[in-house]
Structure 1
Amino acid sequence: MLDFRLAAAPPEEATVVALPVPAADRRWDIPEAEAFLTQAEHTGEAGRVERLVRPLSTPSTVFFAGIGTGDEAGWRAAGAEIVRSATKATSITVDLTSAADQIAATRGFVEGTGLAAYHANPAKRPPLAEVTLLVEDPAAAAEALRQGLAVVERTSFARTLTNTPSSTKDPAWFVDQVSAAAAQAGVGVEIWDVDRLRDEGFNGILAVGGGSTRGPRMLQLDYAPDSATHHIVLVGKGITFDTGGIDIKPAEAMLLMRKDMGGAAAVAGAVLAAADLQLPVRVTALTPLAENMVSGSAWRPGDVIEHYGGLTTEVRSTDAEGRIVLADALAYAVEQYSPDYLIDVATLTGANRVALGRRIGALMADDDDLADALLAAAGRAGEGLWRLPLHGDYVSMVTSEIADLYNHSDGGAGTITAGLFLREFAGKQRGRWAHIDMSSPSWADEPERELAKGATGWGVRTLLRFLQSL
């Protein structure tokens, strides 16, 4: 991870600097700046970066970074593009002193720079290693730096979990990796192996994982500070590879199915970040984990599953497996904790991308205040989120004649009907429950602003902002 430093004055050895546009601060003595910006027609649009090379001068390289309106999002975009533009620099000094809000500028720039510097292959990460941030009051900006670093570290952790090939990443591996990180962060861990899942009636998780030789798990993380005034339970879908089961996917659709545990990675990252920042909120994360494989012991279309808590599901498609494992975990969360808010996060439906494109997740909730809080958190975090209706007329599309529910509807509205299915398992907490389908924005085909190619770690930032709002 990049090494960030706060300073009130530029270091004497600063040879590579970044200035916002317009570059009003003349302390750098760059007389050609105005002519350069005019010639480049650079008016400060967020994320646009132009490089001025000044041989035999100090600084020798100046990046002029557009910050848009100067809000946190503008600084985030500027930081991301500076990383991609400074392809040879190992250190850079960034002047934030002209920012109207230096706290927001600090957090935004740290997030943008740190997240854009991530690469799934560490050997291919950019050479930039050290960033000095110039601010009027380093002590005042220290907390913003700490928050930005927590976001970068835990989003990067979620990305790495998701990027890891499924030949390595099975449910037990995920549990080992996250448990080790939790131990370092002082977060409590509880693990369900196959025997415990069976003994306690987590039949949905067992059904989905039954076709694999690498058995299912459930992992619970618990951050419980003494000062907590709220208890939030986060549930993340953890399908470490998805063949579709007996309703097998086409080969092309399987290529990226290592990302089908992105929800589990996101909720784990959010809990760890909450612990890093010592938020006064209790946060419990549940990650039901399974491989959905094809074998003689795999679950079948037409099976009826009795979930934890007693609700039953008639299986219409074994490729609608995520909601099956989430159902067990949601029912468990309601019975055991009755939390203030219950939020599930999942790479759940391809319909998410059809409806909202590749950068926007879908939000469903009955409670307007909870929905508004999550939408606001996503907006501050820079992650796209759009609310879809839990339309009552569609309930019949997931209602079975021989069980309580179908796990799949053939009538369209795939993202919404999945949400309606999950809502049933929120039980008495359904008025304080929300579902986020982040299937599409969980992956980036190409680098874009703070997103690296591959897993995006989507959801860590939104969930953390929501927790901070409490």
Structure 2
Amino acid sequence: MPAPELLDPPSSSWSVRPDALADVLADLDPTDLLLAVPVHRGGLRADSDAAGWLPVVGLDATDVQAAHEPSGEPGAVTRLPLVPGERAARTVLLVGLGDAGPADLRSAGAALGRAGRGRAHLVVAVTGLDAQAQAALVEGIALGGYTSPRWRGPDATPSSAPVAEVTLVGTFDEVTCRRAVTRARATMVARNLAVVPSNTKNPAWMAAQARTIGRRAGLDVKVWTERDLRSEGFGGLLAVGGGSATPPRLVQLSHEPAGATSSTPHVVLVGKGITFDTGGLDIKPAEGMLAMKTDMSGSAIVLAVVAACAALDLPVRVTGLLALAENAVSGSAYRPSDVITMYGGRTVEIGNTDAEGRIVMADALAYADAHLAPDVLLDIATLTGAARVALGRSMAPVYATDDALSDALVAAGRASGELLWPFPLVEDYRFALDSVVADVNHIAGTPVGAGSITAALFLREFVGERRWAHLDIAGVGRSDVDRGLLTKGGTGFGARLLLTWLEEMA
């Protein structure tokens, strides 16, 4: 199989057909065709859509229910192989839709996407879904068919290819489905970048990927080299990246919609881009390093989102900042108790070199506040183990300087299936960041617990008076399982959420 580009993951060809199912199947080669029909809770009913569709391939719903008792639980799949050459499909997939809500439909779609891997054609017949439900099913199919790249030779190859063609039959809206595929592909790009081995993926490599994506998407791209960072005073990026043989970078990508004016909303997204995290001189235990190639997931998500804004033609100005560094151990590594001068002049006492993400993010946030004039400033980062302890791997904390912003992001999380839970910026904990030798300590010098909250409080120091939100995706940014919408490795959590939020803003 030819090695796919990481920035252009293999994907299915999609079409929407409002025709009768029999007419659709008559136009297709049945040799390697999967036909998916829905099963709701309670099984196949005589009055269901499936009961009307199954006779097209020579099956009777009552007989199928009696013989196979297909489950209506979301994502459950009952396979019915058909006699080759005698029917209009090779296999019928009876897929459980549960209550047919968006979460259930994502599960159902993911099961179909997995079942279709390596196959020629998947025909999905469903009716009665609203726009949100259609998008959920399509995203599920797309992400269920995705597999992470593997390195078995000089190039990256997918573990298996997604189904070559997907045909949606029923009351589907083509524009809704196309936009859902675009959001899912943004997640795939973020996942691909997250799992690249760190002996390939360093700050310069990530900057090169940003240039490539920017050129393809028509984005303006600016890259700060180590010399640029030094001359402009990005002390945080330089400190964290100082111990590595591969110097840090800062990347800016800009989506400017046609006809944008000074009144067009401007959102700046900042992504943490630690291409590998040893912990620095406060070195991690060996097992703690195993997943650290994904510690740049925030930057991968921001990169994928800004590119998708162009594909979705969002009438919002969106700027992405990728704060890229490798946190390594060497004689030039930064030390606990160092005092570093951040972009904009504030000084920070280093409490632990393994809390490096907030340092590079602070530089980027301060730059955005000083020069980009955003209406909303948002950052996303695999930042703290405390977030994973608090909420596990199914939802992420969101911090915001106003309730309306928090509410909008939480709503986008519900709509996209990437769930957020509002966390407070507890003012009583701010004293713990006081330093006797600098403007601020970058970790809590006085034990107060609440590590995710104090990290957010530190970041807030660098956003000025901007409307600001922080997504701590340390728990949800990585997966240890290959199940449902997830694949083992980086999850791309936040890409669909942010695109949904930006679409609503538009």
Same fold (TM over 0.5): yes
User: What corresponds to 1:190 in structure 2?
Assistant: 222
User: What corresponds to 1:81 in structure 2?
Assistant: 111
User: What corresponds to 1:221 in structure 2?
Assistant: 253
User: What corresponds to 2:275 in structure 1?
Assistant: 240
**Distance in 1 between the 2:94 and 2:285 partners?**
47
Range that drifts further, 237-246 or 66-75: 66-75
The one of 241, 258, 261 aligned to 2:296: 261
CA shift at 1:439, angstroms? 1.0
Range that drifts further, 42-51 or 290-299: 42-51
User: What corresponds to 2:99 in structure 1?
Assistant: 69
Indicate if the aligned counterparts of 2:118 and 2:164 stay in contact, CA closer than 8 A.
no
User: What corresponds to 2:197 in structure 1?
Assistant: 165
Indicate if the aligned counterparts of 1:210 and 1:298 stay in contact, CA closer than 8 A.
yes
**Distance in 1 between the 2:501 and 2:158 partners?**
34
The one of 14, 19, 36 aligned to 1:4: 14
Alignment of structure 1 residues 344-423 onto 2, 5 Å: 344-409=379-444, 410-423=447-460
**Distance in 2 between the 1:37 and 1:126 partners?**
32
Alignment of structure 1 residues 419-458 onto 2, 5 Å: 419-429=456-466, 432-458=467-493
The answer to whether structure 1 residue 124 and structure 2 residue 152 are counterparts is no
| Letter aligned with residue 149 of structure 1 | V
Indicate if the aligned counterparts of 1:223 and 1:284 stay in contact, CA closer than 8 A.
yes
| Secondary structure at 1:66 match in 2 | strand
The answer to whether structure 1 residue 209 and structure 2 residue 263 are counterparts is no
CA shift at 1:41, angstroms? 4.5
Residue ranges of structure 2 left out of the alignment (5+ in a row): 1-10, 41-47, 150-156
The one of 71, 75, 93 aligned to 2:123: 93
**Distance in 1 between the 2:116 and 2:359 partners?**
46
The answer to whether structure 1 residue 48 and structure 2 residue 48 are counterparts is no
**Distance in 1 between the 2:159 and 2:61 partners?**
32
CA shift at 1:457, angstroms? 0.8
Name the % identity.
45
CA shift at 1:384, angstroms? 2.0
Indicate if the aligned counterparts of 1:83 and 1:126 stay in contact, CA closer than 8 A.
no
Deviation readout 1:42-73 (Å, 9 max, x if unpaired):
45222222212232443342111122332333
CA shift at 1:128, angstroms? 1.9
Q: Compute the RMSD of aligned alpha carbons.
A: 1.7
CA shift at 1:87, angstroms? 5.5
User: What corresponds to 1:152 in structure 2?
Assistant: 184
**Distance in 1 between the 2:104 and 2:211 partners?**
36
**Distance in 1 between the 2:65 and 2:405 partners?**
45
1:425 to 1:40, Cα distance in 2 relative to 1, 3 A: farther
Deviation readout 1:130-168 (Å, 9 max, x if unpaired):
11111346xxx2211221221122211111111000000
CA shift at 1:361, angstroms? 1.2
| Letter aligned with residue 428 of structure 1 | E
| Secondary structure at 1:125 match in 2 | coil
| Secondary structure at 1:93 match in 2 | strand
Indicate if the aligned counterparts of 2:132 and 2:415 stay in contact, CA closer than 8 A.
no
| Secondary structure at 1:237 match in 2 | strand
Residue ranges of structure 1 left out of the alignment (5+ in a row): none
| Secondary structure at 2:206 match in 1 | helix
| Letter aligned with residue 293 of structure 2 | R
User: What corresponds to 1:19 in structure 2?
Assistant: 37
Indicate if the aligned counterparts of 1:232 and 1:342 stay in contact, CA closer than 8 A.
yes
Range that drifts further, 21-30 or 344-353: 21-30
CA shift at 1:112, angstroms? 0.9
User: What corresponds to 1:114 in structure 2?
Assistant: 142
Indicate if the aligned counterparts of 2:54 and 2:61 stay in contact, CA closer than 8 A.
no
Range that drifts further, 254-263 or 359-368: 359-368
Indicate if the aligned counterparts of 1:99 and 1:105 stay in contact, CA closer than 8 A.
no
Indicate if the aligned counterparts of 1:212 and 1:295 stay in contact, CA closer than 8 A.
yes
**Distance in 1 between the 2:359 and 2:275 partners?**
14
CA shift at 1:444, angstroms? 1.1
Indicate if the aligned counterparts of 2:136 and 2:416 stay in contact, CA closer than 8 A.
no
| Letter aligned with residue 129 of structure 2 | A
CA shift at 1:39, angstroms? 5.3
The answer to whether structure 1 residue 317 and structure 2 residue 352 are counterparts is yes
Deviation readout 1:246-272 (Å, 9 max, x if unpaired):
000001101110011000011111111
The one of 271, 275, 283 aligned to 2:306: 271
**Distance in 1 between the 2:424 and 2:133 partners?**
35
User: What corresponds to 2:45 in structure 1?
Assistant: none
1:357 to 1:37, Cα distance in 2 relative to 1, 3 A: farther
CA shift at 1:32, angstroms? 3.2
**Distance in 2 between the 1:281 and 1:267 partners?**
15
**Which 4+ residue blocks in structure 1 deviate beyond 6 angstroms?**
none
CA shift at 1:126, angstroms? 4.4
The answer to whether structure 1 residue 301 and structure 2 residue 336 are counterparts is yes
Alignment length (residue pairs): 463
**Distance in 1 between the 2:138 and 2:395 partners?**
23
User: What corresponds to 1:174 in structure 2?
Assistant: 206
Deviation readout 1:386-438 (Å, 9 max, x if unpaired):
11111111101111121121111243211110000001111121xx1011000
Give TM-score, length-normalised by structure 2: 0.88
**Distance in 1 between the 2:54 and 2:18 partners?**
14
**Distance in 2 between the 1:276 and 1:8 partners?**
25
1:127 to 1:239, Cα distance in 2 relative to 1, 3 A: closer
Range that drifts further, 262-271 or 27-36: 27-36
| Letter aligned with residue 278 of structure 1 | D
Indicate if the aligned counterparts of 2:113 and 2:162 stay in contact, CA closer than 8 A.
no
**Distance in 2 between the 1:299 and 1:316 partners?**
11
